[in-house]
Amino acid sequence: MKPKLSETALVHEGASVNASSLGRYVEIGAHARLNEVDMGDYAYCDRFADMAYTKVGKFANIAAFARVNPGNHPTWRASLHHFMYRSSAYFEDEPDEEEFFDWRRENLCSLGHDTWLGNGALVLPGRVVGTGAVVGAGAVVTKDVPCYAVVAGNPARVIRMRFSEPVIERLLALEWWDWEHEALQVALPDFRNMDIEAFLEKYQG
């Protein structure tokens, strides 16, 4: 039986959450790893998801084994290896190189509201996945993804748009992801049963 979510984030066994903020009704899957991640309300990640230096919008859906902002290595140096910047693990009295990690933080990833990363999807450093976008299973995101686009492949390419441009504009203006929890429950039958045009007509006019 799936556990009930609440105002306090649910972090499953074996997950690692470091220097991260977790919103309401958030779920972190077993053995997932988060490092400096800002997770918006209602967002979740499944088992073994791995994210670093990432801002995650509300209602984001992150499948198992997805990876966001994997570690970059210093290709311009004589060596690529950890010993240069994770030095404390290798040498006595040698601190880690904080400037290197500051460089990684500058390449923040951003996942918009109500996004979906498929199983094993990979989002490279500095990329933005727009609100409502879908990243197919195993896709490698090397460029920013437009709002409400469906992308797939390696490198990821736009396969189609989920909705027409006028509908996308209306959805972005509606900002239903900011509705109160009670309002979401009231609207639940309409989320389930209405087509997008009828939904927008009812809630936006």
Copy the structure tokens of residue 152: 């797939």
User: Is residue 1 over pLDDT 80?
Assistant: no
118 and 26, same structural domain?
Answer: yes
Q: Pairing mode, if any, of strands 140-141 and 149-152?
A: unpaired
For residues 33 and 115, membership in a common domain is answered with yes
The model's pLDDT over 24-81, given as tens digits with 9 standing for 90+, comes to 999 999 999 999 999 999 999 999 999 999 999 999 999 999 999 998 888 899 998 9
The answer to whether residue 172 sits within a structural domain is yes
Are both 125 and 141 inside the same structural domain?
Answer: yes
pLDDT at residue 82 greater than cutoff 90: no
Helix, strand, or coil (residue 167): helix
CATH number at residue 117: 2.160.10.10
Residue 70 preceded by cis peptide, ω within 30: no
The answer, yes or no, to whether residue 2 has pLDDT greater than 80, is: no
Same domain, 68 and 143: yes
- Residue 119 in any domain: the answer is yes
What are 107-155's pLDDT values in tens digits?
Answer: 999 999 999 999 999 999 999 999 999 999 999 999 999 999 999 999 9
Burial annotation 189-198 (CB, 10 A radius, 16+ → b, else e):
eeeeeeeeee
- Please give the Cα distance from 118 to 152 (Å, whole number): 9
Check whether residue 29 and residue 17 sit in a common domain.
yes
Q: Are residues 196 and 114 in the same domain?
A: no
As to burial, measured by CB atoms within 10 angstroms (0-12 exposed, 13-18 middle, 19+ buried), residue 8 is exposed
60 and 151 co-located in one domain = yes
pLDDT class for 3, splitting at 50, 70, 90?
A: confident
Tokens linked to 74: 């210093």
Segment 11-34 shows an average pLDDT of 98
- 136 vs 188: CA distance, rounded Å: 26
What's the domain range around 54? 10-72+107-162
pLDDT band at 196 (very low <50, low <70, confident <90, very high): very high
Q: Is 1 part of a structural domain of the chain? A: no
The per-residue pLDDT for 119 is 98
CA distances in angstroms from 80 to 14, 19, 94, 127, 193, listed in the order given: 29, 25, 18, 22, 53
- Burial, 186: exposed, middle or buried (Cβ in 10 Å; 0-12, 13-18, 19+)? exposed
Quick one: pLDDT at residue 190? 98
Token reading at 54: 């990432």
The answer to whether residues 62 and 116 belong to one domain is yes
My answer on whether 154 and 174 are in the same domain is no
Judgement on whether residues 37 and 117 belong to the same structural domain of the protein: yes
Considering the domain boundaries, does residue 24 fall inside one?
A: yes
pLDDT at 166: 97
* % of the chain beyond a pLDDT of 70: 100
